[in-house]
Structure formats: structure tokens, C-alpha cells
Structure 1
Amino acid sequence: MNDDELLAAYERMCLIRHLEVRVAKLYAEGAIPGFVHTSVGQEASAVGALWHARADDAITSTHRGHGHVLAKGLSPRGMIAELMGKEAGACRGRGGSMHVADPALGILGANGIVGAGLPIAVGAAYARAAAGAGAVAVAFFGDGAVATGAFHEATNLAALWRLPLVLFCENNQYSEFSRASDQHPVPISQRARGYGIGYRHVDGNDVEAVAGTMAEVLAHVRSGGGPVLVEALTLRVRGHYEGDPQRYRDGRDEAAVDPLDLAQRRLLARGVPEESVAAAERRATEVVDDAEAFARAAPLPDAAGVLDDVVAPRHPVVEAPLTPDGELQNQSRTLRAALGDALADDGRVFLAGIDVAGGNVFGITRGLAETHPGRVLDTPIAETAIVGLGVGAAMSGLRPVVELMYLDFVGVCLDQLMNQAAKLRFMTGGAVSVPLVLRTQFGSGRSSGSQHSQSLEALLAHLPGLTVVMPSSGPDAYGLLRAAIEDDNPVVFIEHRLLYDQKSPVPPPSHRVPIGKAAVLRPGTDVTVVAWSRMVHHALAAAETLAAEGVEAEVVDLRTIAPLDRETVLASFARTNRMVVAHEAVSDFGVGAEVAALAVDQGFWSLDAPVVRVGARPGPAPYAPVLEHAWEAGPDEIAAAVRRVVAC
């Protein structure tokens, strides 16, 4: 850096320092709610890391991310207003200290989950590589994050694909309440070597050293050299959070170098006038004063907007009727056609997952990699990285379709769905959309055992911001998948593997099915049977049996679990005054309970009999066929439940 550049960097560090100190004071006064994690002492690593960053570069950050986002250009006014929970905040008061973001500036978000930003940065790096303009992603994380699975999965995938990603570790010598030396059996440098990527160590208290190192690293990454791990050794001066009693400190930090003092001494030694240095600090203080005054005067959010931006607005979709005549094909081919047509129609769409280029375990994606080279991508077995790739790419303007081989594996990557994809639009105050589709499949009935047979839609439907779709027919699978890929929200698209061979009419490429709209598949007058996925076919079979007994059952296929089409369900219930809900999941605490609650609440005046749920017995799916058959529910159980409610 020349003198002017170092002075400007010093001023930026002063801004971060004074803002953090002011934030700590405001928090102590009660003007800032929640948790606050300040980055005092780490200013040089933040400023130096982003000194050569471009506007189109992306960053992901940590719960201690104030310095990073300010260094990337976030408005101090927006920062303090956000921390105060004001409508004028960077995220309209929806994010707070741990979740500050501004996607327009390439700030994809600080993050309250340790390590969670790394897979998202992989997706942002992939999107920038696909754009071909030389932009990169920088993932900030602390030394504690190198122990997380997210770090390893993200680093492995970035190394495998040679993505333009800088993994910037701020080793501040503490992992929450423990010394870093007590947490890691090997140095961080060995982590980089293990993945075959570049590694640079730098004094994180020296802004010139950090900026100089990053200039070389960014040039390498932008030129296609692959990811680099940079370890900046610095120090967390304050506690893990404001108010932390810090009983774990033992005085070994007292001789630490202050980044601001180091830069100031260097400026004076070079002959920069003392007044110029003092003026830089005054300007920083004035900016912080202005930001505090702005934030204090800013209005609080309107409580009526508490549900604003949970989901992105949906495009109107008209479902055209299909002619029953013509060619028939199985559902697996219909799904393949939907994916192929989406790839052909929109260059932003890509597929990623385990063995998707080879066709996946069920052959759904067979041939798509050859037809669409470079856009059907095999990944390692790394579910967190796969979903994080989708989240980051979706935030960066692409429309990823990522695959989870079995629905049962959702627990491995739940954070990226539950805390990232489902919440990011809301936590950014509507500044970002996450048009991500997660395809997966499930199903009992094939002796797949307890870890490959679960119906977990209730778990996912319980997460606000997440859309859950479960089609029962080929045309619905095509229309809903195309609608999901075109939707601006994260959608979990759950297929049933025992329906892959079911034949149905071939839908035209224009066919779409609206998300959140149920369908009445069989009219009836005596009882409403609500079902979805394969249970729809069991319900229709039961209805045929019951018709021979003089009982006319109306069968409603939800098609979308969340959002739930309450209107169609209630309208059917008003016609029949009786209801049975059938699902493949265990009966307790499932979607059936939600539908039943709807019937006895908003549909109370239609209620002529108990609402009965039909589902699997409340235990894990057995392996032995005789046990699995005894565990799961089918047409006979649905028919028996209908007879019970009709008899009331």
C-alpha cells in the first residue's frame, strides 16, 4: 500500500473499531436487543481481506461479521439500525447482529450457525465461475469452524471443482469459550494440504500484510487456479458475546498487537502528518455518530408486517386440463422430461447431486448430462455441501435443482434447509430470493428398512419459508416440478419411488400445476378422504370398495403439503361432513393432525363425526416384509376408517 492507501485502510479500520465499541455501549444500555458478537481486534483482517475485492465478488460471514460487511461496503447507518431492530436497518430489522446481509453488495449474509456460510459460498463461487467474469467468493470463518462437517464438505467440493473461492480463516485464538489450541489436533495448514489446495498464512493484525497476501490470492483464484485457504492470525479482544464474563482467559493475551496502533505507527513513521491520521479517526467517529443518530430516530417495524417476506410472491399458474387419450409413459420418464425441458428453457437451471450425471440411483436423470453438458453435475457424498451449493447459487441468480438421494438423509443437511434456505428471504428483509429445488424420494413397501423408508414431510412442512410438494401422478409430477423450478422459493419436491413405474398420459411442455392447489380426484357425498403421494392411490382403491357398499367417498389429493390448500379441503368437508386423512407417515404428529385440526376448527360447523387419521404405526419401518406390511397402512385401513366415521 502507498501512504494514501494505508491512510484510507486505517480510516476504515477506525470506522469498524468505533462502531463496534459503540455497539457494545448501546447493547449495555439496552438499546440493542438479542445477542451481539463484536470483532474488536480483528479489523485488519476484515479490511485487508477485502481491500482488493470487486463489487461483484460475494462474501459469506460469521456471527462475528460486522467488520466483514462494513469492509465490503455496508452502510454504517444500516448496520446500527439493523442491530437496533429498526425498519431502516440493512435487513429491515429481520436479521439482527448475527444475520446482517446486503445481497446487492455481494454480502450474502453473516450467519448464526458456525461454518454454515461455507457451503453457501461454494454455491456463490460456482455461480460466479459459470458467469465467467472473474468474480470470486470469499468465505469468512473462525478457527472453530474447521472442526465442522460443513467446512470439510465445502472445502472438498470447492477443491474438486476448482472453484473461485477464498476460504478466509480468522484464527482469533478462541473457539467460543475455549482456546483454539485445545480444539484442533493438527494445524489449519494441514487441512489445506489434505484437500490439495493452496494455503497462505498472514499476520492478521497487519492490514498491509493481509491486503498484500490477498492481492496475490485473489489473482490466483480469479485466473482459475482453484481455491485457497488463508489463515490470518489475529485475536478476539472481547468476549465471545457482549456480557461474556471470560473466565476462560488467563492473561496470555496482554502483549497482543492492536491493528489500529500498528497502522498508526507505520503511517507516522512514513512521514504522514499526525493531523492527517487524527483527521481520519475523527471522520470515522463522525460517521459512527451519524449512524447512531440515524438509527435512534428511525421508526420501528410495523407489527402488522411480522410475516412480510416469509415467501416470495408466486407467479400465477393456470392448470390446463389434460386429454385422457394418447401416449402413456411411466412417471420416471415424465420426471426426466420435466428436468430436461427446464434445462432447455432456462440457462440458469442446473442439476447437482450424487451420481446425477450417471442417471442417479433410479435412472431419473439418465441422458441429461449428455444433452446438457456442464449443467448436470456429479458431487461427492456431501449432502450439506450439495444443499449449500444450491442455496448460494440460488442467491446468486441461478435456479439450481439439487438432489438428495433419499428423504431419510435430510437430517444430514437439515441446517442448510431449515436455517438457511427457508429463512434467508425473511432474514434479509426480502432483499434476496432462494429459487432452489431439492428433489428427493421416499417410500415404504420394499423392505428398505428404518433409514430408507421414512415419510418426513411433516418435519419439513413445519419450517416457515419452505415449500413441500408431493405429487401422486405423472402429469402432476411434471407440472409441479416445472412450477417449482420457476418458483422463487425453496421447494422440497418429494417423489415416491413406488410410483416411478406408474403409467399416465404424457403432459405437454406447457403443462404447469399451481403450487398450493389441491385436486378433487373423485367426487363423493358421504365422506372426504384427504391423501397425498402414493396414499392417493390407496384412497382411490378404498373408495371403489366402499362404493360397492353404497358409500361415496370424495378423494382430495393435497399435491402440495406446504402451503396447504385449506379452501379445497374445507369445501369438500362442507359437502360431506365427515373426514378421513390418510398418509404413509406414522400417524402421530403428522400432516394428518394438521388437516384434522383444520376440520375441527374452521370446519367445525361441518363436523358430523370424528375426524380419523390413517397412517403407519408409531414405530420405525421394519425390514422383514411381514413386519413392514403389518406396520404400514393401505386401502383396507382407509376403508375401515371410513366405515367407522360413516357409522357415527
Structure 2
Amino acid sequence: MYRRMCRIRRFEERAAELYKATEIPGFLHLSIGQEACAVGACWPLGERDGITSTHRGHGHVLAKGLDTASMMAELMGKEAGTCHGRGGSMHIADPGQGIYGANGIVGAGLPIAAGVATAAKLRAAGDVVVAFFGDGAVAQGMFHEAVNLAAVWDLPVVFLCENNHYSEFSPEADQHRASMSARAAGYGIGYAHVDGNDVLAVAGVMTDVVEGLRAGGGPVLVEAETYRWHGHYEGDPERYRSAEEVTAAKERDPLVIARRHLTAAGVEGGRISAVEEETEKEIEAAVEWARGLPEPDPADLYDFVSAPRPVFEEPAPPAADAEIFRTMDAVRLALQHELSADPDVFVAGIDVGAGGNVFGLTRGLADEFPGRVRDTPISESAIVGSAVGAAMAGMKPVVEVMYMDFIGVCLDMLLNQAAKLRFMTGGRATLPLVVRTQFGAGRSSGSQHSQSLEALLAHIPGLTVVMPSNPADTYGLLRAAIQDPNPVVFVENRLQYGLKGPRPAADHLVPLGKAKVVREGDDITLVTWSRMVQEGLAAADVLAGEGIGVEVVDLRTISPLDRETVLASLAKTNRLVVAHEAVRDFGVGAELAALAVDEGFWHLDAPVTRVAAPPVPAPYAPSLEQAWLPSRDTIADTLRRIAAV
């Protein structure tokens, strides 16, 4: 224990020196003074057990077993760093050693830890997870959602609060009114308090807690009281506390307390000094090794953004005499197929189990797959965050966000976690997860239940965004999304749940990232997706009677965008119209227009035009909603106008 604490202390002391010398280029948050928390908490853990960490995470990952050399290289931004220089100090991870990431977002590791613990529980291997967080994180909604979900699901997770009594620059008393013990009682979980500066005390409490979890116990909140010697970040002027306070806190140095334990146990001073000298040499060797390494090659900028996708061909369309089924049947059958085929797949969301989903899409699956179709609390951050953690732990979660509008509630888990973790960990993390959601205006659902937000999601590098337009594609694309090694947001249109079409074969798979020409034409290209495909096809039928041939391209996948198919159609017709249900300004239509002007300019014989909702929130009153929503008539009018240019 003492050796591990010395390793953390010296690593961080040298990191502070290197930061001042500008050899470490990015933010640096140090845990000097908190070493006993990290070492004691990780002491009873095995390699398969997991941890999640914070922006102040060096001690946690070193205590879990990460090597100092690759970590030092990572802090210096070197290619040989733990994460190939893509993560830096705040984002070090190695899921292979049970280290599911330090995190630059306060509290974000907590729902991820719940997901790792979900994977452990589903596999019934006796593994446990420790989620480190600071006292400031309890003000985050993610703390509440993660702890509540863990309690409801009886997950094998320890929520370990390193209470250093400061939330960035604010003292604890200014931030909270409830104690940690009261919070644990409020969630109905266990609680333990420990002196976080005494490594033996921390290890003793954690050994008991971990043994209880391995025996089937539920989550426990452990509060370890400690103190950070440095500021919130290196360079922090620390005007919020006195030098005398810091000096007094140092009298309870975790290393001094550990040395006293060693002396009391009869360990000679020379042996203790030898450990210190060996640790000093180890850290110096790590620094010298890292200094001599190259930074990442700029040519490798695009590495690790996404995992390579499985390659397969566009399937044959369903047989003409095939059974007719609905889009809602396609969703259920795709989920059923993947749950049957792969034990790592599970489904979770609000009322998807016993309730069978608000639209009845998952009805019966909970009985067919016990424990693998799971109801959650109304906690979107915990739902998506648990999917991130479970995916990093090797599962293939399919989680539901009931309405697309609610993506805003859990956007961090998509924007900063699911989309970025593969990149920030230099490819160490894999994120095979699907977030299913739905949207659709036209039934007076109002401004908070009607939004088409694909442009928001498609703007996030690392996310795949899929929007099918018919039952067969819904089935094939959803199956492909579940099998994909990347995070996929799968967006259904609720007005199409009753849409009927021929049922494909059970092995039907539609490749992600591939658009499809669903109607041939020579005069004008119409690019669209989701329900607007049906409106666009209806408009094309009308124009065919007027002698205008409209080629309709169904994007199917919004991101990555199939530029080749769009440009090939534009080269054929020389005119481009884009139709989408989302508001016009700054949307996917604008991206397609930019593509046409940039790469297809010499093919254009007319302006690129968008048919879309105006930049107004979705109205409630039917008269306003119909005026706001694009339709086959508005699409047809635009096609006529552009065809005449």
C-alpha cells in the first residue's frame, strides 16, 4: 500500500513540475493528499473489477494497476501514451484493466459505473465496480440518477465519495445542506464513513463492502474524508482558502500515517526508504522515456473516431408476395432477433419491460428474455450513461429515450461520453450501443414532443444517426445498428408505426451509411429521409403525371452521410431539392446544399432548394401545425418550380 501511495505522490509531484515547465500541455488536476483513498479503495479489487474516475484521476488509475510510463507519456501528449495522446490527464482509461475512464465532466462517471455494474450483474461473475467522485458531484443530476438506478437494480457498485470539502473553489458548506449519510438513506442504500487519509482504514472498510457486494449485496455509498493539497487545477491562485488551513491539513499526510503503521508493524526504516528510492527511480525513468517519444502524426488525425463497420451488401428487397407487417412489428422483431442471437444484447428504458413500451413495441419481450429487457426509472442520463458503461464492459445495450425531445435531458452522455470515448481512449474503449428514440409532428404533440433533432446529433463526431422510412428498412437497419461496434442513435417516426409493407427474410440486414435510390428519375433529385420519403414519393407520383421525372434518394443514415449516392444522382439530374421535417435553418438540408455547391457545383443547373419547417417551435393547434409542417403538396410545388428553372 505504501509503495502504491508513494508512486502516486511522486508521479503527481513530477507532473506538477513538468506542467510548470510546459512539458505537459493541457489541464492538470492533482490528487496530492488523497492517495490513501485511491489505494485503499482499489486494494480489494481484482483485474476484472471496474472503476470509474474523475478529472482528478491519476491516483485512481495508478492504484488500479496502470503503468506510470504510458501515463506520463499520455500527459505529455505522446503517441505511445496510454490513449495515444488523444485523452490527456482527464481522460485516461484502459477497460482491459477494468479502468473505464477518468472523466472531464463532473459526475459523468457515476452512470457509466452503473452500466459497468449492470454488465457484471447480467454476467453473474461476482465482479464489482467502484465509482470515485468528489463531494461537488452530488449536486449533479447524474449523481441522483445513477445512485437511484443502482438501488432499483441492486447493482454491485460502490459509490466512493472522496470528500475533500471543496467543490472547485467553494467550500462544502456553501454547496450542500444534506449529509452523505442522509443521502444514502434517502436512496435506500448502505453507507459507511472512513478516514480517507488512513489507507488501512479505507482498505478495511472497502474489503468488507466489496465482500458484501460479491455475496449479492446492493450498492453502498462510502464517504472517505480527505483533503487536496493543491488547488482545483495547477495554476489555481487558491484565494478561497488560507495557507494556514493547507499547512494544518498536511499534518495528516496519508504517507506519514502509513509510515507510522509500518513502523508499528516492525518494518525497518531502511526498507521504507528503499521503497521511496525505488519509486523515485521508476518515475524518473518514466519521465525520461516519455520525453524522448514523438507526438502523434497529424496524418493520423482521423484515427479512433469510429470503429470499422462490418461490410455487407444491400439486401434484396422483400418478395412481392411476402407477408405484410407494420413498422412497429419491425422494431419488435429486430429486437427479438438480436436478443435471441446474442446473449450480450439487452434492452432497457422507461416502461419497456412490463409495460411493453408506450407504443407497445416491446410487448412480450420481458417475459421471453428475463432480466434482459429492463425497466428503468425516468432518468435519461442514467439510461444512456448505463448503456455507455455496459458497452465499454463488452455488452451490446439497446436503450430507449421515449421521445427524441428528451435527448436534451441526457445530451452529455451522447455528446461527451458515447461519441468521444473511443477517440479519447485511443481506441481502447469500444461503444457498441444503440439509443432508440422516436419523433413526429402532425398530431398536436406540441413543442416538447415533436422535434426532429437529427442535425444536432449528426454534428457530433463519433455518433451514427439512422432514420428509416419503411418497415423493411426499419427491421434491417435496427439489426445492423445493434451489431455495429459504434454508438448509434436510431430514430423512428411514430406516425409510421402503423405503416405497412412487405416483411423481409429474418436475416435481412441493411448496411449503415448507405443511401438508396427509391425511385428513378431524370429531371430532378429529391433527397429526404424518414416520413418525408413517403411524402416525397407521393409528390413524385403527382409530377410524373406532369411529365417531370423525380429521382427520390432516401438517406436512411444521416451520419455518416452517403455523399457518393447524392452526388451521383445530382450528376444525373442536375437539380437538387432536399425535404426534411426538421426546421430549415442550420439543418441537414444545409449540409447537403453545401455538398452540392462544393463537390457538385459543375452539375448544377438550378439553385439547391430546401423544403422544411420554418424556424419556429412545433405548434400545438392543428391549423398552425399543418402550416408549419412540410407536406407532399409543398414538396410538389417546390419540385415544379425548380424543374422549370
TM-score, with length taken from structure 1: 0.98
Alignment of 1:609 with 2:609, yes or no, is no
By how many angstroms is 1:273 displaced? Answer: 0.9
Which whole-Å CA distance do the structure 1 matches of 2:262 and 2:331 have between them?
A: 64
| Structure 1: stretches of 5+ with no match in the other structure | 1-8
- For residue 273 of structure 1, the aligned residue among 262, 268, 286 is 268
8 Å CA contact retained: 1:82, 1:93? yes
Task: Please say if residues 322 and 504 of structure 2, whose CA atoms lie closer than 8 Å, have aligned partners that are also in contact.
Answer: no
What's the offset of the Cα at 1:181? Answer: 1.7
Q: Does 1:334 align with 2:330?
A: yes
Q: 1:356-395 alignment to 2 at 5 Å?
A: 356-357=352-353, 358-395=355-392
Partner of residue 228 from structure 2, selected from 220, 225, 236: 236
Give matches, 1:206-221, under 5 Å: 206-221=198-213
Contact map agreement 1:437 1:492 (CA 8 A) in 2: yes
The match for 1:49 among 41, 52, 56 is 41
> Could you give the per-residue CA deviations for residues 536-569 of structure 1, whole angstroms, max 9, x where no partner exists?
0111111111111111110000000000000000
Output the CA distance in 2 between the equivalents of 1:498 and 1:12.
59
Tell me the SS of whatever aligns to 2:221. strand
Q: Say whether the 8 Å CA contact 1:92–1:428 is kept in structure 2.
A: yes
Q: 1:319 aligns with which of 310, 314, 328?
A: 314
**Deviation per residue, 1:184-242 (Å, 9 max, x gap):** 01111111000111100000000000000100010111111100000000001100000
> In structure 2, the residue corresponding to 1:389 is in which secondary structure?
helix
Per-residue deviation at 1:252?
2.8
Alignment pair present for 1:473 and 2:466: no
Does 2:393 correspond to 1:396?
yes
Q: Aligned runs of 1:432-471 on 2, under 5 Å?
A: 432-471=429-468
- Measured against aligned partners, the alpha-carbon deviations of 1:513-553 in whole angstroms (never above 9, x if no partner) come to 00000000110011000000000011111111111111111
Cα distance in 1, alignment partners of residues 400 and 474 from structure 2:
16
Name the aligned partner's letter for residue 396 of structure 1: A
For 2:376 and 2:275, locate their aligned partners in 1 and report how far apart those are by CA, in whole Å: 49
Quote the residue 1:148 is aligned against: 140
CA contact (8 A) 1:139 1:168 kept: yes
Residues of 2 paired with 1:336 and 1:217: CA distance?
40
Q: 1:347 aligns with which of 337, 343, 351?
A: 343
For residue 268 of structure 1, report the CA deviation from its aligned partner.
Answer: 2.2
* CA-to-aligned-CA distance 1:79-133 (integer Å, 9 cap, x gap): 1000000011000000000000111100010000000000000000010111111
Q: Once the two structures are superposed, what CA deviation does each residue of 1:354-397 show, in whole Å capped at 9, x if it has no partner?
A: 00012111111011111111111000000000001111111111
- Indicate the residue corresponding to 2:117 in structure 1: 125
Which residue is 2:290 aligned to? Answer: 295
| Equivalent residue in structure 1 for 2:571, among 552, 561, 574 | 574
Q: Is the 8 A contact 1:205 1:234 kept in 2?
A: yes
SS where residue 99 of structure 2 aligns? Answer: coil
| 2:569 maps to amino acid | S
What are the residue-to-residue correspondences of 1:601-640 with 2, within 5 Å? 601-640=598-637
> What is the CA deviation profile of residues 471-506 of structure 1, one whole-angstrom value per residue up to 9, with x for unaligned ones?
001010000000000000000000000111010011
Matches of 1:282 and 1:202, distance apart in 2: 30
Deviation of 1:298 (Å): 1.4
Are 1:319 and 1:511, in contact at CA under 8 Å, matched by a contact in 2? no
Question: Take 1:15 and 1:375, find their aligned partners in 2: how far apart are those partners?
Answer: 42
Residues 33-92 of structure 1 deviation map (CA, whole Å, 9 limit, x = unaligned): 110001100001000000111110010000000000000000100110000000110000
Choose the corresponding residue for 2:197, options 199, 205, 208.
205
Q: Is the 8 A contact 1:101 1:109 kept in 2?
A: yes
Separation in structure 1 between the aligned mates of residue 501 and residue 644 of structure 2, nearest angstrom: 36
SS of residue in 2 equivalent to 1:255: helix
Shift of 1:327: 1.1
State the distance in 2 between where 1:586 and 1:195 align.
Answer: 41
| Letter of the 1:346 counterpart | D
Aligned to 2:281: 286
Written as runs of structure 1 = structure 2, the 5 A alignment for 1:41-120 is 41-120=33-112
Question: C-alpha deviations, 1:286-317, integer Å up to 9, x for none?
Answer: 11001101110111111100110100000012
Identity %: 64
Match of 2:247 in 1: 254
Q: Select which of 482, 488, 491 maps to 1:494.
A: 491
Matched, 1:20 2:12: yes
Give distance in 2, aligned partners of 1:371 and 1:269: 59
Cα distance between partner residues in 2 of 1:607 and 1:475: 33
In structure 2, C-alpha distance between the alignment counterparts of 1:584 and 1:314, rounded to whole Å: 29
The one of 531, 535, 538 equivalent to 2:535 is 538
C-alpha separation in 2, matches of 1:528 and 1:21: 62
Q: Would you say the 8 A contact 1:355–1:379 is kept in 2?
A: yes
Q: Which moved more, 1:136-145 or 1:314-323?
A: 314-323
Amino acid of the structure 1 residue aligned with 2:644 = A
Residue in structure 1 matched with residue 594 of structure 2 by the alignment: 597
Q: How many residues align?
A: 640
Structure 2 distance, partners of 1:179, 1:320, is: 61
Q: What RMSD over aligned residues (CA atoms) do the two structures have, in Å?
A: 0.8
Q: Which letter does structure 2 place at the counterpart of 1:494?
A: V
Distance 2:516 2:328 in 1: 22
Pairing of 1:128-207 with structure 2 (within 5 A): 128-207=120-199
Deviation, structure 1 residue 11 = 1.3
